[in-house]
Amino acid sequence: MKQNAIYINNKGQALLFVVVALTISMVVGVSVATRTLSVTKRVSSTDTGAKVFYAAEAGIERFVDRPTSELIEIANGTSCGGTLSTLSDGACTFTLGDSTKVETKTSVTVQMMTYNKSNPDRYEVRLKNGTFSGIALSGYSGQINLCWRDSNESANTGLYYTLWSPSALMRESIILPNATSPNPEAVSFTVTGSSVIANNDTVTPNIYRWCTSVDATGTPYFLNVMPLGGDAVVGVLPAPGLDIPPQGFQITSKATLNSADSQQQAVKIIVTDRSYSHVPGFFNAAIYAQKDIVAN
């Protein structure tokens, strides 16, 4: 009998179908519309952020290759040098873009930098195989811990350094990872003569793998460090109670969207470490050939 009941009221059944269909359509339609608006809004936001990012990048590029003396002035807040920026509230600012459309404002500050890493305080550089970095040591006198880790864990990297006074070489050495214990590691390259065997880094074991102490007493002027056999991250740690001299500059470039629309805000901050300029490390060579030395 219930089946019959159903049959008795057939017209309402179709209306319900229509209503449900319309409802579903509306829901789908609204959903699609909302989705479209959301995507549109997201695309607009990404474009603005990119502008700001590029503006922050531009800040770095504009400042990072300035001469050392100019960066010192900027760090002192006395000038913006030749950066084509305006000194404002201790920062050098400049704008990019079209003020009638989208304009970014970049604010760059420069600080003298002794350590670019903390806990423990240290100066750290990332170096390519066979490429020198220069560590300023003017005014320092004492031991230095020279630590490193391989950039590529499969490579066992050594370290070569030359320590210079203002007028002459003080000492040089090749430092090799401990090849016996507790984790035997042998370098892939060939070493002759006496080398220094580094110790396992027990002070900063989670940061570096190997450490050695370099005697920088006296009147050191700079330390050239070069990884051998692979890329490496090298840390320079002063002896307890001592500070190594400034190593360069920390450049902070902050870019914002220069817009009155509070809905249109974007901020990008890039921090860069830039060492003092120094002569390419291969100048400590009597003979340097990027290719070969041929005598036959």
Partner 1 sequence: MLVFLIYMRKVRFLFLILLLVGLGFFLGSENRIVFAQDCSGCTGPGEYVCGSSWGANDMCCTGGGCPSYECSDDTYNSANNCGGTWMCCLGGAAYPDPCNQSVCTPEWVYLTLGTCEYCPASGGGGGDGGGTTYGQVIGRIWTDVNKNGSFDGVSELWSNSTTTCSTYKNDSFNITVGGVNKLSGWLCNDGGGGVQMSYYRTSDIETGSRSLTLTGVPAGYTCVNAGCSQTLTVAQGDNHIWWQLNKTNTPPTVTLSPTTINYSAGGVVYPVKIGVEDPDPYGQLRISSTTNVGSIRDTAAIEINAYGTSYGGVWPKLDIYGFRKTDGVRSSSPIATITVSSSTRATFWVPIAAYNTYSHFDLVFSNDAWDPVTKTGRDIWIDDVLLHSIPPGPMGTDIYTVQAENTSLIQYDVGVSYNDAYDFMTPARNAAMTSTPGYLLMAWGGSLRLPALWVSPYTATSGNLTFNVYDEPTTSTPVTRSVTIAPVTGTLTGNIWIATGQTVNCSDLTARGSHPSIPITVTANPQALSGAMNGSTGNYSVPGLFGTINTVSLTGAGLTPSTGSYTNACVNTSPYTVSGFTYNGSLITPSKTLDIGLRLVDAKKWIAAQGGDIYASKFTLNLPKACPNPLSVMCPNYSPQTATHYALGYNPLASSVFSAQPVSIGPSRFSESNISATNLGNQFASKNSLYFKKTLVALVTSLKDTNKITSFTTSSTSFPNSNYIMALDASISSAPSNYSYSVGGSAGLVFMIIPPKTGSPFVINNISTGGSSRLVIIADRDIEIGNQIPGTTADPKSAATTPHIKASIITTGNITFKNNPIGASSSPGTLIIEGPLISGATKGTDFGIKLERDLTSISNELRPAVFVRFNPFYITELNKIAVGNLLPALNDFFVFDYAQN
Residues of this chain, 175-204, that bind partner 1 according to CB under 8 A: 188-195
Contact residue for partner 1 among 49, 97, 130, 142 (CB under 8 A): 130
> Which one, 34 or 277, has the nearer CB to partner 1?
277
Q: Is 258 helix (H, G, I), strand (E, B) or coil?
A: coil
Contact residue for partner 1 among 88, 126, 186, 264 (CB under 8 A): 126
Residues 6 or more apart whose CB falls under 8 angstroms from that of 75 comprise 110, 111, 112, 249
- Which residue from 219, 177, 181 is spatially nearest to 197, judged by alpha carbons? 177
* Minimum CB–partner distance for residue 48 and partner 1 (Å): 22
Q: Does 84 contact partner 1 by CB under 8 A?
A: no
* Minimum CB–partner distance for residue 157 and partner 1 (Å): 10
Contact residue for partner 1 among 134, 177, 220, 235 (CB under 8 A): 134
Binding mask 157-176 for partner 1 (x = CB under 8 A): -x-x-x-xxxxxx-xxxx--
Contact residue for partner 1 among 86, 88, 128, 186 (CB under 8 A): 128
Distances (CA, A) of 136 to 9, 144, 247, 253, 275: 95, 12, 6, 25, 9
Q: Which region, judged by CB under 8 A, interacts with partner 1, from 26-34, 40-48, 131-139, 257-265?
A: 131-139
Contact 173, 205 (CB under 8 A): no
Residue 182 phi, psi (nearest 5): -80, -15
Q: Does 229 contact partner 1 by CB under 8 A?
A: yes
> Which one, 251 or 257, has the nearer CB to partner 1?
251
- Which residue from 151, 176, 175 is spatially nearest to 163, judged by alpha carbons? 175
Contact residue for partner 1 among 60, 214, 232, 257 (CB under 8 A): 60
> Which one, 9 or 296, has the nearer CB to partner 1?
296
Q: Does 101 contact partner 1 by CB under 8 A?
A: no
Ramachandran quadrant class, 130 (left: phi over 0; alpha: psi -120 to 50; beta: rest): left
* Minimum CB–partner distance for residue 116 and partner 1 (Å): 7
Q: For the range 41-48, what are the long-range contacts, defined as Cβ-Cβ under 8 Å and sequence gap of 24 or more?
A: 45/266, 48/102, 48/257, 48/264, 48/266
CA torsion angle 42 46 52 53 (round to 10): 140
**Distance between CA atoms of 182 and 199, rounded to whole angstroms?**
10
Q: Identify the helix (H) or strand (E) that includes residue 228.
A: strand 222-228
> Which one, 94 or 123, has the nearer CB to partner 1?
123
Q: Which region, judged by CB under 8 A, interacts with partner 1, from 11-19, 24-32, 46-54, 62-70?
A: 62-70
Tokens found for residue 3: 């089946």
> Which one, 77 or 245, has the nearer CB to partner 1?
245
* Minimum CB–partner distance for residue 36 and partner 1 (Å): 37
Q: Which region, judged by CB under 8 A, interacts with partner 1, from 11-19, 27-35, 202-210, 283-291?
A: 283-291
# chain residues binding partner 1, by CB under 8 A: 71
* Minimum CB–partner distance for residue 295 and partner 1 (Å): 3
DSSP label of 118: T
**Distance between CA atoms of 30 and 65, rounded to whole angstroms?**
53
